[in-house]
Structure 1
Amino acid sequence: MVKIVRLEPIAQNTEVQTNSNLLSALLAEDLHVLKECGGRGMCATCHVYIKQGMDSLSKMGRREQRTLELITTAKPSSRLACQSRVLGEGIVVEVPAGMYLDAIEDVEALIGRRTEQPLLHPITGEVVVEAGKLVTRSVITELKDIRFQVGQYLARTREA
C-alpha cells in the first residue's frame, strides 16, 4: 500500500510504500541525503525533522535515540530517515536547508567562493558556512578530516 509523504521546504509530495523508510522517499526524489553508515542509524547524515505525523512512523529504537543525542541540531521532532518506517498517512518531513559538503563533486573548487546556500556539516548538519559567505581552505580541510575519522569508525563497527 502506498502512502503520501510531504517534503518541506520544497513543497513536494512523494509516494512511499508502507513500511519503507523515509530515506528511500528522499532518495527517490533525487534529494541529496548522505547515508554514511549505509542506513544503520549510526551516523545521522540522514537527519530530518518531522513537522507532522510522528505517530504515523515506526517507533524510535535505542540506536536511533543514541545517535540523535549526539547531534547538536536535534529537536524533539528529529528522526533519522533511514530508521523511520512509514506506517500511516499525514507525514510532513522537513529536510534541513542547505547543501552537505559531500554533495559537491569537487569540494576544492569552492575555496574562495561565496556560497549560494548554506553548507552543512556532513555529520551534525550544522551550518558550517552561511549563504553568501566565503568558503575557506581551513573549513574544507577540517571537514575532510572529520569525514575520514567517521569513515574509520564506521569501518571498525562493521567489522565488529
Structure 2
Amino acid sequence: MPTIKILPHAEYCPQGAEISAPTGTSICEALLDHKINIEHACDMSCACTTCHVIVRQGLNSLNEADEAEEDLLDRAWGLEPQSRLSCQAILAQQDVTIEIPKYSINHAKENH
C-alpha cells in the first residue's frame, strides 16, 4: 500500500501527516478517509479546482492527467508543473509527497 506524505498546511493538516491508501485510490479519497478534509466542492467530479495539490515526490507514479483536468488546472491558484487535482490523481505502488496550496479559488467553502 502506498504512503502519502502530506506537508504541513495551517488549516487541513497543521503538523503534516503520513497516511496509507490502497493502490487505485484517488489522493482526495485517501485524504478524506483519514479525516484530512481537503475541499472538494464538485464532489470529485473533475469540475472545479478546490482539491488542487502539488505533488512534490512521486508524480510519475500517478496516472496521467487527462485534458479535462489539465484545462481546469489552468485556473488553480498557485499552479506548478507538478500540480494535480487530487480527485483525479490515482495512486499506484509508489509513495507520494504532496503539498496542499495555501489558497483555492472557491468562493464559498463547502462542509462535506
If the TM-score is normalised by the length of the shorter chain, which range does it land in?
0.7 to 0.9
2:83 pairs with 1:78 = yes
Q: Any conservation in 1 of the 2:77–2:104 contact (CA below 8 Å)?
A: no
Alignment of 1:10-159 (within 5 A): 10-97=15-102, 120-123=103-106, 143-144=107-108
The one-letter amino acid of 1:4's match is T
Gap regions ≥5 residues in structure 1:
98-119, 124-142, 148-160
Distance in 2, matches of 1:32 and 1:122, equals 16
* Superposition deviation, residue 90 in structure 1: 2.6
Q: CA deviation at 1:42?
A: 1.4
Structure-2 residue corresponding to 1:6: 5
Query: 1:85 deviation in Å?
Result: 0.2
TM-score (norm 2): 0.82
* Cα distance in structure 1, aligned partners of 2:71 and 2:95: 26
CA contact (8 A) 1:5 1:89 kept: no
Report if aligned partners of 1:46, 1:81 keep a CA contact under 8 Å in 2: yes
Does the 8 Å contact 2:53/2:100 carry over to 1? yes
After TM superposition, which residue ranges in structure 1, 4 or more long, deviate above 4 angstroms? none
Relative contact order higher in (CA < 8 Å, ≥ 6 apart)? 2
Q: Which residue of 1 aligns with 2:11?
A: none
**Larger gyration radius, structure 1 or structure 2:** 1
> Given residue 67 of structure 1, which amino acid in structure 2 is its aligned partner?
L
Unaligned runs of 5+ in 2: 9-14
What TM-score does the superposition give when structure 1 sets the normalisation length? Answer: 0.59
Q: Closer, same or farther in 2 for the Cα pair 1:72/1:122, shift >3 Å?
A: closer
Q: Percent identity?
A: 24
Q: 1:18 to 1:121 in 2, by over 3 A?
A: closer
The Cα RMSD (Å) is 1.7
- After superposition, the Cα gap between the structure-2 partners of 1:44 and 1:89, relative to the gap in structure 1 and judged at 3 Å, is same
Checking the alignment, whether the CA contact within 8 Å between 2:48 and 2:72 is kept in structure 1 is yes
